[in-house]
Amino acid sequence: MMVQQKGARLLHSCLNMRRQLNRLLSNGDLTQGEYLVLRNLWLSGSDSDPSLPGSRSEGHNKGRHVKAADLSDMLELSRPSITRILNDLEHRGFITRSIDKKDRRSIRIELTQAGAEALEKANRRILGIAERLVVSLGETDTDKLIELMDRLAEIYRELLEERRGESDEQNSE
């Protein structure tokens, strides 16, 4: 009984933390989905990490592009969700979409200079929040939290692998 109560408290804390972080991050110019799409577009066309200081957006991802289906798979979002996000980003001038000349069924999505700048601004904001967390928690508690979050992510991966294994067994029956 005690384990169930702790499990419920842990779940409540995780959900509350996620809700508060989403609220904090959504006060910026980009939604979480828009940020993730822009970041993946940047990373697909750049060897540099846009969150690193001094990582400028000149040449952002010239000549490199991503397809909507790839973004959907990378971000584990439905195709309609990705389409809505892309429509919003294109309307705001952060991306361009064009027909792929090599495969006319595919749409090329490219980051614009304005999109790269919006991503850099969001990265500075997110890094500022992270730095405030470190100051508030202190070095020792921050290190402990990082260690615990990494362990939690590993447990999640193990649970997902177990679930995939169970699913594979059921499919083979």
Look-up: residue for tokens 């850099």?
Answer: 120
pLDDT score recorded for residue 60:
44
Go through the domains of the chain in sequence order and give each one's CATH number.
Answer: 2-137 (1.10.10.10)
- pLDDT tens for 25-55 read 776 788 888 999 999 999 987 544 444 433 4
Higher pLDDT, 112 or 65: 112
Which residues are within 8 A (CB) of 97 and not within 5 positions of it... i.e. 6 or more apart? 86, 90, 107, 108, 109, 110
pLDDT score recorded for residue 46:
56
Mean pLDDT across the chain: 84
- pLDDT tens for 49-91 read 444 433 444 444 444 578 888 899 999 899 999 999 999 999 9
Does the pLDDT at position 138 exceed 50? Answer: yes
Does the pLDDT at position 18 exceed 70? Answer: yes
User: What are the DSSP E strand ranges found in 39-124?
Assistant: 95-99, 107-111
Higher pLDDT, 144 or 7: 144
Where residue 63 falls (left for φ over 0; alpha for ψ -120 to 50; beta otherwise) is: left
pLDDT score recorded for residue 104:
81
